[in-house]
Chains A and B, each alone.
Chain A
């Protein structure tokens, strides 16, 4: 390590030698950085899972534009929207097809004794084209009354129970309606619901008797694609969405490209809902903890070496040399602490996924961002710690 750093720095790696000389102090510092890393990673992991789970609820859909009630900030909240807008939309030549989508939430007492909140997608037979091909074939089977597609990754649903109820085509009871599971899909639970089911619109109305066919939760629209490339198409869809919004003149509805809608949903839940804000705050606290720990370590280290630094000052070393030494220490602590921190975080991610079913996973970009952030935070700590260097007065050495 010393040899490598000597080559890199072109000088004696005093920062590293100081750190490795006081092994207990270095261990404490590395532990501190790793701890701060774990804090940040866990918060980011939850935020990532939060984002993913929001996007997952849109994942089965294939639509270009979505019309929702003006107070509907997510897929499952807000008022319904009148179906009249669907027909008005179809009057635009740019719109090729449209379909209503019904979304509801209910509780399910699982056969294994667990309880789960379930997001229900009510799918009219005419809207199958608005679902991804892997769903489309299965959704066709929902024409049979009182049947459903079950999310195999529903939280609380163990594989044994799933196998039993699907193999035996066991009926389950939801909102006092007996339903047959005819197949499964794989989506997974999120923060709003533990799992998902797909039913036909008619079954949906049985599950939610107050829901009327004329007021779906959302309206899905498809535009004429022509031979546009994807980038051009995206711009075109946004333009059509704006055109449609003007065409509808509906103060109780909002019209968005589906991609924009998903992005708005994520932003809303991250910034307006307590859960998003809390985890964002957690990231900040993690960074703060890291900065404070590294500052304490570096500041103590500087204080303990004031005489040596004063000696170097008397020899003619410039302030930039001392900043270099402290920066060297800060970067080393950041990099060394990052290794156990990220490994521990990945283990915690795995445990969290196992325990909650949330899609908590490590992304390569997150690793780089946290490493970069850790280095910056450690350098800030180092920069603050250099204030102590002013106390290094060579005249006091005599």
Chain B
């Protein structure tokens, strides 16, 4: 057990976090007094059965939900005190990989990736194009850059989603079952890429997964049950 890693290089700090869904009689507690620190550049896996609260915790840490009780500090900023503009600014420093990839169906692979860049400003279009093509080639899709998602396989779509999340050099990557649609090799390739980014750019990755094939690549594995952290292992 490694409850609460202490580090000056903390990317995420969660303190006494509770979260509830529903109102009045239908109110149900999803998280109970979560305390957690995530080190910069680390690859952390959140595990646990369905309904254990891991996705709720992920969305709270990713500033996608309102903090009801407790505190979450993301890159040193307390999320519960941020206004809308500050929240948007902090989201721009994050990368998201969704299980359902959520690619824009009418945009090509390259355009989907470009969306991850253009959120930071219009910039130089040629440089953006080059960056998008480079990252697509890193995920093995150099020959598919102009394909619409409808013409890509599930695994290829997921790789585009990974490229979109990483192209803007995010400080933290939040991923929900990023390898679910990928074969073993592709899955390990994606996780290896996240791990490499951690080392090279101090990118922190937090991943919800049930995929046992990638557990050995994690620096840390947190297990949740019934809204509580029941295990926190340093796996590095």
Chain A residues in contact with chain B, CB under 8 A?
A: 6, 10-12, 14, 17-18, 20-22, 305, 307-308, 310-312, 314-318, 394-395, 397-398
8 A-B pairs with least C-beta separation: A21-B106, A316-B92, A316-B91, A311-B102, A395-B64, A17-B106, A308-B104, A395-B59
Query: Quick one: which of A14, A22, A310, A315 contacts B107, CB cutoff 8 A?
Result: A14
Complex contact B98–A10 (CB within 8 A): no
User: Which residue of B has the minimal Cβ distance to A16?
Assistant: B106
- Are B102 and A308 touching (Cβ within 8 A)? yes
A-B contact count (CB 8 A): 73
Whether the Cβ atoms of A316 and B114 lie closer than 8 Å is no
Return the chain A residue nearest B114 by Cβ. Answer: A12
Contacts of B148 in A (CB 8 A): 21
Q: A307-B100, A398-B64 are in contact. List 12 more A-B contacts (CB 8 A).
A: A11-B118, A12-B107, A12-B114, A17-B106, A21-B148, A315-B94, A316-B92, A316-B94, A317-B88, A317-B119, A395-B59, A398-B58
In the bound assembly, the distance between CA atoms of A17 and B111 in angstroms comes to 11
Is B62 part of the binding interface, using a Cβ–Cβ cutoff of 8 Å? Answer: yes
- B84-95, CB under 8 A of A: which get 1 and which 0? 000011011010
Contact B119 A316 (CB under 8 A): yes
Residues of B within 8 A of A310 (CB): 102
Please tell me if B105 contacts chain A, counting CB pairs below 8 Å: yes
A314/B107 in contact, CB under 8 A: no
A398, B107: Cβ atoms closer than 8 Å: no
B115 with A312: CB separation less than 8 A:
yes
Contacts A/B (CB < 8 Å), 9 sampled: A10-B122, A11-B118, A312-B115, A315-B94, A315-B119, A316-B88, A395-B64, A395-B65, A398-B176
| A101–B99 alpha-carbon span in the complex (Å) | 86
In this complex, how many residues of chain B approach chain A with their Cβ under 8 Å: the count is 32
Minimal beta-carbon separation of A11 from chain B (angstroms): 6
Contact A397 B107 (CB under 8 A): no
Please indicate the chain A residues that have their CB under 8 angstroms from the CB of B104 in the complex: 14, 305, 308, 311
Within 8 A of A (CB), among B99-141: 99-100, 102-107, 111, 114-116, 118-119, 122, 125
On whether the beta carbons of A311 and B98 are closer than 8 Å, the reply is: yes
A315 B102 Cβ-Cβ under 8 A: no
Whether B98 contacts A398 by the Cβ 8 Å rule is yes
Q: When chains A and B are docked, how far (Å) is the Cα of A184 from the Cα of B65?
A: 82
Contacts of B99 in A (CB 8 A): 398
Determine the chain A residues whose CB is within 8 A of the CB of B98 once the complex forms: 311, 397-398
Contacts of B58 in A (CB 8 A): 398
Q: A321 — nearest CB in chain B belongs to which residue?
A: B119
A335 to B83, CA, bound (A): 38
A20 to chain B, nearest CB (A): 7
Contacts of A20 in B (CB 8 A): 106
Whole-angstrom CA separation of A317 from B59 in the bound complex? 17
Whose C-beta in chain A lies nearest to the C-beta of B93? A316
In the complex, chain A residues whose CB is within 8 Å of the CB of B96: 311, 314-315, 397
